[in-house]
Amino acid sequence: MPEKFTGRCECGAITYEFSDAPEFVANCHCRDCQRSSGAVTGSYFSVAEDDFTLLSGNPKGYSYVVASGNTVVRNFCPECGARVFTDHLSGFPGQVFVMLGSLDDPERIEPPIMEIFTRDRISWTKALDVPQFPARPDAAPGSPEESAPGGCG
Q: Please give the residue ranges that form the binding site for Zn ion (CB under 5 A).
A: 9, 11, 13, 28, 30, 33, 42, 77, 79-80, 152
Q: Which is closer to Zn ion, CB of 17 or CB of 19?
A: 17
116 beta partners: 28
| Nearest CA-CA partner of 84 in 3, 4, 11, 1 | 11
- In this structure, the number of other CB atoms found within 10 A of the CB of residue 143 comes to 11
Q: State the minimum distance, in angstroms, from the CB of residue 37 to Zn ion.
A: 9
3-state class (DSSP) for residue 141: coil
Q: Which is closer to Zn ion, CB of 50 or CB of 58?
A: 58
Q: State the minimum distance, in angstroms, from the CB of residue 92 to Zn ion.
A: 12
Give CA–CA dist 32/30, Å, rounded. 5
Q: Which is closer to Zn ion, CB of 19 or CB of 31?
A: 31
